[in-house]
Amino acid sequence: MSKYTEKLALFATAAMVTIPSLASASEVGMPQFDSSTFVSQIFWLVVTFAILFILMWKVALPRVSETLDNREQKISFDLKKAEELKVSAEKVQAELNKSMADARADAQAVIAKANASIAKDQEKKIAIFSTDLANKTTEAEMRIEKARKAAIASVNKVASEVTQAIVEKLGGKAADDKTIAAALNTASKEG
């Protein structure tokens, strides 16, 4: 970069020599319109353009080009990394979906097994309950039958006593227990 600085200093010195004095410039008006300075103006225009062109070509544009290349490389690296991450994410998603499907299948199997176990338990409990109910029903029927027989015996006894009392009041004499029992048995069979 120092060789460029040296060249600029050389051109600046040459420019000082060719600049007309301020006194003559004030006589003509604006120095840009003085025809005697057109050659030096064109010379300095060309020199300035060449210097700016060389600076742009050798210094600024390579830096811009380097920055663009670095940016392009970073973008391509980022795109490649994003593609890898996308593939990885799709793989993880597929594994997750498979795991979810397996878990659902396992849950359905566990539910089916539990339902079967519950159904067996219910069948056993229903069988036990039915047996118990049958036993209790039989016991209840036996108790009812005993109670009925006891009630009939009690009714027969009461009927016998009532019949004896009626016969005694109507006939004036006591009736025989055997005759009353035979008459009550005949009446209960017919009724």
Q: Which two tokens stand for residue 161?
A: 């006593």
pTM over 0.75, yes/no: no
Across 113-138, average pLDDT:
90
Single residue among 83, 109, 135 that ends a domain in this structure: 83
Is residue 111 in a domain? no
Single residue among 83, 107, 142 that ends a domain in this structure: 83
Is residue 14 in a domain? yes
Instruction: In whole angstroms, give the CA distance from residue 162 to residue 183.
Output: 13
Across 9-32, average pLDDT:
58
Single residue among 54, 83, 112 that ends a domain in this structure: 83
Using CA atoms, how far residue 163 sits from 151, 153, 175, 190, in Å, is 17, 15, 9, 17
pLDDT at 1 over 70: no
Instruction: In whole angstroms, give the CA distance from residue 109 to residue 101.
Output: 12
150-174 tens-digit pLDDT: 877 777 777 777 777 787 787 777 7
Is residue 182 in a domain? yes
Is residue 161 in a domain? yes
Closest CA to 159 of 179, 176, 181, 178: 181
Give 64-86 as a DSSP string.
Answer: HHHHHHHHHHHHHHHHHHHHHHH
- Per the structure, the count of domains in the chain is 2
- What pLDDT sits at residue 11? 65
- What pLDDT sits at residue 15? 57
Band the pLDDT of 23: cuts 50, 70, 90. Answer: very low
Is residue 180 in a domain? yes
Question: For the chain, what is the mean pLDDT?
Answer: 83
Instruction: In whole angstroms, give the CA distance from residue 111 to residue 108.
Output: 5
CA angle 125, 123, 119 (to 5 degrees): 115
- What pLDDT sits at residue 157? 77
Is residue 27 in a domain? yes
Is residue 16 in a domain? yes
71-82 tens-digit pLDDT: 999 999 999 999
φ, ψ of residue 175 to 5 degrees: the values are: -90, 160
Is residue 88 in a domain? no
1-5, 19-23, 185-189: segment of lowest average pLDDT: 19-23
Q: Which domain holds residue 161?
A: 150-190
pLDDT at 100 over 60: yes
Across 35-52, average pLDDT:
91
- What pLDDT sits at residue 182? 77
Closest CA to 3 of 54, 48, 44: 54
